[in-house]
Every structure is written in structure tokens, then in C-alpha cells.
Structure 1
Amino acid sequence: MKGYVARVVDTELDELVPGLPAIALEGPKGVGKTATAQRRAGTTFALDDPAARELLAADPGRLDRADNPVLVDEWQRYPLVWDLVRRSVDRDPSPGRFLLTGSATPVTAPTHSGAGRIVRVRMRPMTLMERGIAAPSVGLSDLLSGKGAPVEGATSIALPHYTDEILRSGFPAIHDAPPRARRAQLDGYLARIVEHDFPEQGHLVRRPATLLAWLTAYAAATSTTASYSAILDAATPGDSEKPAKTTTIGYRDVLTQLWLLDPVPGWLPSRSPFTRLAQVPKHQLADPALAARLLGVTEDSLLSGDTPGPRIPRDGTLLGALFESLVALNLRVYAQANEATLHHLRTRDGRHEVDFIIQRGDHKVVAIEVKLSATVDDRDLVHLHWLRDQLGQDLLDAAVITTGTDAYRRADGIAVIPAALLGP
């Protein structure tokens, strides 16, 4: 496919497709699911086309007769197709038969979860590696190995570059557009959520301005654990007639169905000495560019610290929060590639916090802190040293992700890695 940029999930699909009969590739609109799936498809049913839906409804046997792999694109537009695929797999479980792509959880749920027949794979916006800004020299797989792998490499990417990447977004069709066109596309993306996607999910937005205000307040809460009541207060300052709780819960539910909220869950270890860890999630949108656009920030305002928008208590600057969100996007993609999961750690008394915990299937972990600065000192490592004391050998490795130029290991064994140099 001309112009196709290889994605981290391609490697995952290369491993899964030959061994599974059906895979559902899920994620928000615009992340590249269709382009990635079409590279493998023998036949495509584009169900965002009413004519294609009508033909499939009239003759479901087309799925069995088509050349494999069969791509069912935007399957949520015709939810019955999920069960059609499941039954087809029951009849013939040969690997590599179906790929389904979906940009939302359908309002009318399929009659069966698909467990044992259809495997779900999440796709997210492009990572820094996929955007091609630098060649990674440190792999998350190396950190997860627990072998204290060498950490080295250098990059010229600095804070202004990361700020630019936050604003560019990881949506392939938006990333390389000129600045004004990019802003217009992001505005259009957000407008479509309110005007089209919510109604398609069966949720009529009676007051679009209220939804946008809530979503903007959520954007301001990026990389925090602010309560939903605090987000609502920030969305409606001085307003005595706030939206009902059921209304804002409806916002959350639909945005989750659209894969646009991507919070980082609190870490709940199964075999550690911790007994008092907070379980609240850390708020993240699917792409930090959406948060930046909702808040109306620019590169100059982020770098100067002059940031408008709802006031949400946070440690550090908005740029620091958005940089952490950019790192979270990268870590989520790389963790999935390594069959690991991403969490954050915060004790209930707030004395100790670690930005990210990446957990392997055996419950051993890598701990990562994120610093907007280019340099690291001992004060930045207090929580990592504390966690090492708590976990012992269950801590595979520890690292600080920075905006600096050089990757290296400190004398205490903690890795220092510029964000642009981290890969899967």
C-alpha cells in the first residue's frame, strides 16, 4: 500500500493472524485500523456503506464464500455481523479467516462476546517511533527482560520537538498537515464526536456546549487523578445549575465506547507487600493533541506556561501533563507489543507515586517516571528507590523518561531514556 507507515501492531498481527480464525482490531477513528487491516485482506466488506450493509444482510453467506482473510470494516454499523462471523468460525476454525475493524462499541451488543472465537486487539494513535522522528535505541522489551540491558544512544530531539509532536497528534491523516489545516482537522474531529458519533451511539446531546465544556475539563485533568466531581466543577464554574450526574456519566460511557477515553488504571499488585494503594485511574484522552486542541493551547503558550482553560489541581505544568500523556501513549503501544499492561501507582496517603508501572504476565514489573526536564537528579528518583526497596526482585528495571539527549544507566542502575529513543 503506497505511503503506508508500518505500525507496531503490525508485528502483533503478523504473529496472531496465522494462528487465529478471527481478530477484531479496535480503536478510535482515524488511527489507521482500516489501512493496517487492508494490507492483509483478500476481501473487504465496508459496512460504513449502506449498500454493502444491505447486501450482506440479504446474503450473509457472502462471508463464507469470500476470499480470506475477510475484512469486515466498521463492523459496529451492522452488529449482527459479529455473530455471523462467530458462527462461521464455529463451522470452520481455520486460522486467518476474518479481520474486523471497529471505531465504537455498538449500541446493540452482539448476542455472544466472541470469547474463544474472536480475539480483540487494540490500536492507538502513532507512537513517536511510528512518526519517524528518531530511531529508538532502547527497547521496552529489554527493560522487561530484567537483565539490566545496556542503555545507550543519543538524539537531537528536544523539548520544542516534543511540544510540536503533542500538537501534531498521532492520527496518520492529521500529523503531517500544515499547522492551520491540522488545527481545522482536529476541530472537525471533535465536532464530529458531538454532532455525529454521540447520536450514532444512541445518545442525543441536547446541550452540545455542556458536553464540550465537560470534555475540555477532562482534557485539563490529563495525567491527574482528579475526581469526576472536580472535573464537573471545573467545567461549570459558578454555575448553580450543573448537569445531572447521570448526564456526565452518559458522556463518559459514550466517550469510552468511542475509544476516546484511555485512562491509566491504578496498579493492584497480587503478590506485593502493598495494602493501601489508590485505585483511581489517571485521566488520559486517546491522543494528547485532542486535549491540547480542546484547551486551545499553542506551542508558545505551552512553552511559556501561559495556559488557559479550566483549572484542575496538578503537580507541575500543563506541558508536563501533556508530555506524560504522550509517553503514556507510547508505553501503552509498546507494553501491548510485549504482552504487558500499563498502570500507575499512588499510595492512598499520597506519599509515594510512580507515573507508570508496566506489568508482565508473571506480575513482575518495570517502573517508569516521566520528567519534562532534560536532566535527572537524585530528587527525581526517590519514589523509584522506594519501590525497589519494596519489591526486591519483582522489580525488573526502573527508568526515567526525559526530554534530554542521551540514554544511559546511572551508577544506581536506573535507566535515563529520552522519550524519542524508547521503542518496543
Structure 2
Amino acid sequence: MAPRGSSAQPPAFRTCHLPQIERIWPRRSKPPGDRLAERRDLDRAQDRAAAIADPVGFVDSPELLVIDEIQRAPELLLAIKAAVDEDPRPGRYLLTGSSRLFGMVAAPDALPGRMETVELWPLSQGELDGEPDGFVDALFALGPDLRHESDVTRADYAARIVRGGLPEATTRTDPRRRQRFLDAYVQALVDRDVRQLSDIQHKSELRKLVRLLAARSATIIAANSLESALGLSRPTIARYLQALEEIFLIKRIPGWSRNLGTRATAAPKLIFVDSGIAANETATDARALLRPGAPFGPLLESFVLSELSRQLTWSDQLADLSHYRDQSKYEVDAVLESRSGQVVGIEVKAATTVGPDDFRGLRRLADRLGDDFIAGLVLYTGTSTLPFGDELRALPVSALWQVPAPPAG
């Protein structure tokens, strides 16, 4: 899966954070742009042995060299740095891995100034359905004029949440097979990748932490709130949370404020990178998700935030994603702020109906931001676009992937 919106002039090499083990190209083939590429996979014992024995020779290639699972041989980074310093032509290396280079304990050099990093998320809903995925660009271009009608039902949304976007999981239509795959996937991340990032002394507690976090999706998480449940110290929990984020299992959405005359929380909100993993960790299937008392609301919010995060990696509109909550308990689930200071607020509701009270936090933002506030949306599981004021609209959640980006120019 190639990232959208790649730059025309790449740096000397590019690192890609893969939230799943993924094959980009065959071992010798032509990637996009008809450039011949050599691909080496450090999950293969012979490739890894060659990399460790002769790092300089391993990275010596006249063609684009794709190195998969780079975190398995961090010794290569110094060799790549030397090769890039000697020959700084752009686009010589594409490095992929399931954890961040910057977080690797054994990484000898993070190569500042020599690389561009692209996060590759699990597949978006648009990629799975062949839909346009242009919501972010359309939202900033059209604001409250954005319209969308939908025939997606609550049951459809529940099925999408449980399915997630990991390619291997989406091909498993049998729920038991998908459950076994997701269990094994998370366990492999904990057993292999976390060990490369942090000194893990309580592996069973780490696995328990993952389940606790899944049950608290789309909530503000602080390390001290987990101390009693896990019996671990606050610094240990903070370190484990950092490791889980480094391996792209979770993502923390920062708190947002802009001197609004009231104190806002800076604590981050936690989501899972893949909604299918979160649902599986809470032992929730699509049918159970629709029952009273099920965590449909938090999982739907986490699902929406992760879809927005995906689109922000390729949208033409550059924007930052955060959440808002102030001391007066006004909240907005997602705040998108462009580099020019324009703000869009988004609330997520699992209900098929929407009322004025659902816009409470959005109205607070609109009042305090003035002209910088261009739209406030409540994404809900109904079917129609509904007006609730000049800048406020209710839209079906499926607008996220079914709305096209506006024409260029």
C-alpha cells in the first residue's frame, strides 16, 4: 500500500511506519514511476545475517533499495548514513518497519535531516470500498455547505468497526479466524517489537494494559489512572504507553487550546490505530456492539478519529488533529486546525438522531473562535444532512469516505 500525496522530490531515503507486516513490492520489480528496485526483507534469516555481517555491502545498490523491517537490523542505519553523505541523490532508499526509527533502543543514529517519514496506517474505508476518501479536503473547502446522504445503517457501521483495516484481517470473513489472527498479531507485537523499544519486565501486565486501553478507547488516559488496575508504577506505565505508540498499536490525540480565555486540558485522548483490534480486545463482535450497554459510542469515536488520521497523511489540506475539553466540561471529540488557523470541530454520536444539545461543545468553540471557526459537524449514524445553525451541521458518518475532494483549482 503506497502512501497518497508523496512528494515529487523525495529525500535521500524514506522511512515508512507500517502498522502491519506488509509486502510493498516483489523482491525485484518496478515500483510506481517505473524505477527498478531491489527489495530485501530483514524478517528473512539470510537477509538479516547478510545485513549484520556486512552492513556497507548490504546497502550498496545502484538502484532504489527497499529494506523491509529495518528495525530488525539497526546497524544498517550508520551504513546508510555514510552512503547518503557520499552520494546525496534523492530517493535512494525506502525503509519500512513496524516501529519508529526514533524509538528504537538499538538505533545508533536517527539520521536527522536525511529522511522523510511517512506513516502508513491500516487500510481506510475508502480504500476498502473503492471510495474517494476526500472528506478533509472537502470539509475545509466547503465548510457548512458540505452535504451528504447515506444508506449505511448502524449494523453496517458496527461491522466496519469490528472488521478494521488490517489487510490480513479484512480477508477473513469467518469471525473466529479473524479473532485468532488479531490475537496472534497483537501478541507478536508485544513479544517482538516492544522488546526492541523498551525494557519490558512485566510482559503479562503489558498484555493486560492493551486490553484495559481497548476498554477505554476514545477517552483521556493518564498513567496514574492505571496504577491500581495493573499494580505497576506510574513511570513504568508511561514507558509502556510510549512503547505501544511507537509500534503503532495506539495513538494519542493531543489536547487542543488556543488561549480561549478558559483553561483547556492538555491531556491526550487515546485511540487504537485499528478499530478491529480494539473490538477484538474487548471481545466484542458486530452483533454484540449493537446491544444496550455495548461500547458502540467509544469504538465509533475511535474509528472516526483513526479515519481522520489516515486522511491527514494524504489530504492536500495540511491540518493538525486534536481534541478539546475545558474545565466547564465543554468537549469536542475532534478539532482540525489548518496551518492558517482555520478550525473545524467534529462531534461523534452513535445515535441515528441528533438534537441541539449535541452541538453544545461546538457552539462554545464557535463563540470563542469567531471567524476562525469555519464549521462544526456532528457525525451520526443517521442518513441525512441536517442544519443546526449557520455553521453547524449533522452529517452521516459515511461522509468520511464517500465524499470526494473538490476539484483542484
| TM-score normalised over the length of structure 2 | 0.86
1:26 maps to what in 2?
17
| Residues 1:402 and 2:380 are matched in the alignment | yes
| Alignment of structure 1 residues 310-349 onto 2, 5 Å | 318-338=295-315, 339-347=318-326, 349=327
1:311 maps to what in 2?
none
| Residues 1:388 and 2:366 are matched in the alignment | yes
2:244 maps to what in 1?
255
1:58 maps to what in 2?
54
What count of residue pairs does the alignment treat as equivalent? Answer: 391
Partner residue of 1:94 out of 76, 89, 92: 89
1:279 maps to what in 2?
266
> What is the CA distance between 1:273 and its match in structure 2?
2.9
Structure 1 pair 42/408, CA: closer, same or farther in 2 (3 Å)?
A: farther
> What is the CA distance between 1:345 and its match in structure 2?
0.6
Partner residue of 1:421 out of 385, 395, 399: 399
Structure 1 pair 35/278, CA: closer, same or farther in 2 (3 Å)?
A: farther
1:310 maps to what in 2?
none
Structure 1 pair 138/77, CA: closer, same or farther in 2 (3 Å)?
A: closer
Deviations 1:380-409 (A, max 9, x none): 112212211111121232222111223465
| Alignment of structure 1 residues 4-403 onto 2, 5 Å | 10-13=3-6, 16=7, 18-30=9-21, 32=22, 34=24, 39-40=31-32, 42-56=37-51, 57-58=53-54, 60-68=56-64, 70-105=65-100, 107-132=104-129, 135=131, 139-145=135-141, 147-148=142-143, 150-177=145-172, 178-201=174-197, 203-206=199-202, 208=204, 210-233=205-228, 235-236=229-230, 242-269=231-258, 272-307=259-294, 318-338=295-315, 339-347=318-326, 349-403=327-381
> What is the CA distance between 1:328 and its match in structure 2?
0.6
Deviations 1:32-88 (A, max 9, x none): 4746998446111212223213323425244343422x2111111111222322332
CA distance in 2 between partners of 1:408 and 1:46 (Å)? 51
> What is the CA distance between 1:375 and its match in structure 2?
2.6
**8 Å contact 1:79–1:108 — kept in the other structure?**
no
Deviations 1:246-299 (A, max 9, x none): 442342232122121201111143xx4345110000111221222221111222
CA distance in 1 between partners of 2:133 and 2:124 (Å)? 15
Long gaps (5+) in structure 2? none
**8 Å contact 1:198–1:254 — kept in the other structure?**
yes
CA distance in 1 between partners of 2:182 and 2:216 (Å)? 19
**8 Å contact 2:148–2:396 — kept in the other structure?**
no
**8 Å contact 2:41–2:47 — kept in the other structure?**
yes
**8 Å contact 1:155–1:405 — kept in the other structure?**
yes
CA distance in 2 between partners of 1:278 and 1:36 (Å)? 47
Amino acid at match of 1:343: S
CA distance in 1 between partners of 2:152 and 2:137 (Å)? 22
Report the 3-state secondary structure (helix = DSSP H, G, I; strand = E; otherwise coil) of the residue aligned with 2:378.
Answer: strand
**8 Å contact 1:23–1:118 — kept in the other structure?**
yes
| TM-score normalised over the length of structure 1 | 0.84
Amino acid at match of 1:12: G
Deviations 1:173-231 (A, max 9, x none): 111202111111111112223333334445344452x2222221111111111432323
Deviations 1:330-360 (A, max 9, x none): 111112323322100111x142111101121
Long gaps (5+) in structure 1? 1-6, 237-241, 308-317
CA distance in 2 between partners of 1:411 and 1:246 (Å)? 46
CA distance in 2 between partners of 1:23 and 1:371 (Å)? 38
